[in-house]
Amino acid sequence: MDITVKDIYEAINSFAPFILQESWDNSGLQIGDLGDKVRNPIICLDITYELVRTAIKDNSNLIISHHPLFFKPIICINRSNNLINDLINYNINVISTHTNLDVIPQGVSFCLASKIGLQECKILSPLKEQKFYKVSFFITEDKAEEILDNILTEGVGEFLKYKNCAFTSKGIGQFRVKKKAKPYIDKERFNENKVEFIVRKDKINECISKLKDIHPYDEIAFDVFEECINPLELGYGVIGKYKVSKKLHVVLKEVKELLGIDKIKFKGDLNKKINSIALCGGSGGAFIPDALKKGADLYITGDLKYHEVLEYADKIALADVGHRASEIPVLDILKKELESKFKKLVFRVFVENKDFYNYV
Ligand SMILES: [Zn+2]
């Protein structure tokens, strides 16, 4: 059976749900037709001229990039822009996975941490934005299963590797009839179940209107809890440790080898003993205070700014391995994930210069 862009989009959505992206982000379909049959897909960090030329040469019609092609609002498409022009003329679809791939377990920072051999890894800075609601409703015992089977669909009682998740507790419901009521049950005290589950933020309205449609009571008793809950720990960066502590110069040398890079920009005492390491793939300067708060000896990221280093270098060792090098490890995980779902397809990982910058 043919594999469509929609199939790939949905597979990514179940691995790194697009709803988890930040409100300022633009992960998702950038250009394309979800009905297209996929040929020779390519996974990459950025949509560059070199990548598009490679896609054309390889007869590929799907690019999955980490950084979105469209990030700032577009006010004009100039047809002399060969990049967008070529993508459209050659019918190349583009899907981007950005902050949704950053915040999941197995995401960008966990992949970097595993690449450099960190253990006991935990999220460094939990996601602050609310992405899920908890919903509960009451239903007579005999109807509970039927309603639940209907209500648990995509994004409802579902997260990453689990679906159909709910909890049912038994109790006694009661009511007194006022005028014109049409109660579903003719007893005023009866066995009633309370059913609870989580709902993804983008599915909450659909879920509640479905519940209202299929629930047999004339007045449905339900609650939507709006407090910030996430079913799993989600967030940016990782904090972990090595089995045995090492001096900073040893750590930096090993990280260079493991990431296949030839230089690391750093600030710190090379003889400092490193026990605990915090890191964040990509541009992670904003999470240095989290690394400090959690007692890390070293913070590794991909894009440190001068003023961030100036502010924190006397409190924690800092290392900048380059934006690209810090995010490349996640591409292999994405490849593995997609190839395990689509056994007929080979997902080529396209990597340009790991460091991006040239040095003279
Ligand atoms: Zn990035």
- Pick from 99, 60, 111: nearest CA to 286: 99
Residue 79, pLDDT score: 85
How far is the centre of ligand 1, averaged over its atoms, from the C-alpha of 266 (Å)?
19
How far is the centre of ligand 1, averaged over its atoms, from the C-alpha of 45 (Å)?
8
Token pair in block for residue 326: 């810090």
- Which of the residues in the chain have pLDDT under 70? 227-232
Segments making up each domain of the chain, as ranges:
5-97+327-350, 104-128+235-320, 132-229
Residue 155, pLDDT score: 87
- Residue whose pair of structure tokens reads 């950005």 in the numeric block: 98
pLDDT digits (tens, 9 = 90+) for 39-52: 999 999 999 999 99
How far is the centre of ligand 1, averaged over its atoms, from the C-alpha of 209 (Å)?
38
Residue 344, pLDDT score: 94
Alpha carbon of 263 to those of 98, 190, 258, 330, 354: distances in Å?
A: 26, 71, 12, 20, 11
**DSSP structure class, residue 60:** -
104-128+235-320 homologous superfamily: NIF3 (NGG1p interacting factor 3)-like (3.40.1390.30)
How many Å apart are CA 1 and CA 4, to the nearest integer? Answer: 9
How far is the centre of ligand 1, averaged over its atoms, from the C-alpha of 81 (Å)?
23
| CATH number corresponding to 132-229 | 3.30.70.120
Token pair in block for residue 198: 């989580």
How far is the centre of ligand 1, averaged over its atoms, from the C-alpha of 284 (Å)?
9
Residue 294, pLDDT score: 97
How far is the centre of ligand 1, averaged over its atoms, from the C-alpha of 341 (Å)?
25
Listed residues: CB within 5 A of ion ligand 1: 282
Residue 89, pLDDT score: 95
Can 5-97+327-350 and 104-128+235-320 be said to share one CATH topology? yes
Residue 7, pLDDT score: 97
Residue 130, pLDDT score: 79
CATH architecture of the domain with residue range 5-97+327-350: 3-Layer(aba) Sandwich (3.40)
How many Å apart are CA 6 and CA 29, to the nearest integer? Answer: 10
Q: pTM for the complete prediction?
A: 0.84
- Residue whose pair of structure tokens reads 């810090």 in the numeric block: 326
